[in-house]
Amino acid sequence: MPLRAKVATSVSKTAAALSRAAGRGDGSVIGGWIGLKIDPELLTHLAAGRSIALVSGTNGKTTTTRLTAAAMEVLGPVATNSFGANMPTGHTSALAKAGATPFAVLEVDEHYLARVIEETHPRVVALLNLSRDQLDRAKEVAMMAQMWKTALAAHQDVKVVANADDPMVVWAAGGSPYVVWFSAGQRWLDDSFVCPQSGHPIERHQGDWWCTGCPLRRPRAHWQVEEEGVVDPRGDWHLVKLQLPGTVNIGNAATALAVVAEFGVHPLKALPYLATVTSIAGRYAQVDRDGRNIRLLLAKNPASWLEAFDMAEIAPTLLSINARDPDGLDTSWLYDVDFSPLRNRPVLITGDRAYDLAVRLEVNGVPFRHVTSFDEALQAVPPGRLEVIANYTAFQDIRAELDRVN
Ligand SMILES: [Zn+2]
């Protein structure tokens, strides 16, 4: 590495360590920011010589990155940004901190994918899904797909692992000559009713889909979720045992298996590593308190709320909604989500925007009770499971109340 990059790496690690010591989070953003100020090409220097996989998409990228990094450990030490710092500052910091590892698995914010491909020269890029996110800030879905498509077309040597069930992803991956398709299902359909290529309606039937006006259609998947397991490209079915809930996470595991297969890791080698992952930065964490077993589920946009309903048991459920800066300030997305799956369980609501949620539940015919604190919620439910589904800052508030569970 050039001297400037060495100095930048060292200062970056020190800044991150100081930030951690001062109790200001994990320090990865500030560390990466300072490193990149000293050497704007630091990420490229740190990436050089490593075999890298990038993971991007609107939802599931933190979990899929964690699962992929775990499976990649079959091959040796892996650098990863496991705390969700998914912009170039976070990548720089993660690689600086890890030292010289042969492998890296990086979660990438979908807006930054083109730049991070340019700077890290990954071997594999995994594309999970694209759906509407924070309304006041995120790009429109079709624009994001176009950005991905352009980026991949400019890097023909990158192998793409992509979701065959999401028309937006299939269209974006079409820029690449080498694509491995996985099928993990698509619960949220509202952002892909119209073909991004031709503007014609997309038809769906039993998991298949096709454009009614151009050749865009669902490709045959090489990796497929089937019951509690995954079918690999040879047709062999593997039972997937995870400590994470829901079919959604079996889909995330299928993606991880498809990615590491491109590095030569067989599913049978990878599966025991996937089974070691318990929770990711508090997501899916379980805490026992006053005889209640509390489980934390993060849901940040309409598609991820549907996934959370799929993962949650039919048990008392606390919903918490804030609308602070990291959440997005506009809560009208609540009307994109069908809350009716919650009619069959006791529902409690809390958070800064509990009243927005109250109106939405009223419209949806879901009975609920408003509580003003987490303790009040605990006292309101009988001993046993309490599912907590919260958006970003609401999730962090509850996690803090439970003593920063991981
Ligand atoms: Zn079309």
Q: How far is the CA of 217 from the centre of ligand 1 (A)?
A: 8
Q: How far is the CA of 201 from the centre of ligand 1 (A)?
A: 7
Q: What is the CA radius of gyration of the chain?
A: 21
* Residue in 385, 392, 386 with CA at minimum distance from that of residue 371: 386
Strand partners, 51: 103
Q: How far is the CA of 168 from the centre of ligand 1 (A)?
A: 11
Q: How far is the CA of 139 from the centre of ligand 1 (A)?
A: 21
Q: Which residues of 251-271 are buried (b: 16+ CB within 10 A; e: fewer)?
A: bbbbbbbbbbbbbebebeebb
Q: What is the pLDDT of residue 134?
A: 65
In sign, the C-alpha dihedral spanning 138, 142, 143, 148 is positive
Q: What is the pLDDT of residue 405?
A: 60
Q: How far is the CA of 115 from the centre of ligand 1 (A)?
A: 28
Q: What is the pLDDT of residue 14?
A: 86
Q: How far is the CA of 111 from the centre of ligand 1 (A)?
A: 24
CA separation for the pair 316, 369 (Å, rounded):
11
Q: How far is the CA of 169 from the centre of ligand 1 (A)?
A: 13
CA separation for the pair 174, 169 (Å, rounded):
8
Per-residue pLDDT tens digits of the chain, which is 406 residues long: 888 888 888 888 888 888 887 777 777 788 888 888 888 999 999 999 999 999 999 989 999 999 999 999 999 999 999 777 899 999 999 999 999 999 999 999 999 999 999 999 999 999 999 988 765 555 688 899 999 999 999 999 999 999 999 999 999 999 899 999 999 877 777 777 899 999 999 999 988 999 999 999 999 999 999 999 999 999 999 999 999 988 899 999 999 999 999 999 999 999 999 999 998 878 888 899 989 999 999 998 888 898 899 889 999 999 999 999 888 888 888 998 999 999 999 999 999 999 999 999 999 999 999 999 988 999 999 999 999 999 999 999 998 888 756 5
Count of positions (residues) in the chain: 406
Q: How far is the CA of 182 from the centre of ligand 1 (A)?
A: 21
Q: How far is the CA of 121 from the centre of ligand 1 (A)?
A: 31
One-letter-per-residue 3-state SS of the chain: CCHHHHHHHHHHHHHHHHHHHCCCCCCHHHHHHHHHHHCCCHHHHHHCCCEEEEEECCCCHHHHHHHHHHHHCCCCCEEECCCCCCCHHHHHHHHHHHCCCCEEEEEECHHHHHHHHHHHCCCEEEECCCCCCCCCCCCCHHHHHHHHHHHHHCCCCCEEEEECCCHHHHHHHCCCCCEEEEECCCCCCCCCCECCCCCCEEEEECCEEEECCCCCECCCCCEEEECCEEECCCCCEEECCCCCCHHHHHHHHHHHHHHHHCCCCCHHHHHHHHCCCCCECCECCEEEECCEEEEEEECCCHHHHHHHHHHCCCCCEEEECCCCHHHCCCCHHHHHCCCHHHHHCCEEEECCCHHHHHHHHHHHCCCCEECCCHHHHHHHCCCEEEEEEECHHHHHHHHHHCCCCC
Q: How far is the CA of 195 from the centre of ligand 1 (A)?
A: 5
Q: What is the pLDDT of residue 201?
A: 94
Q: How far is the CA of 376 from the centre of ligand 1 (A)?
A: 52
* For ion ligand 1, residues whose CB falls within 5 Å: 195, 197-198, 200, 211, 213-214, 216
User: Cα 217 vs. chain centroid, distance in angstroms?
Assistant: 25
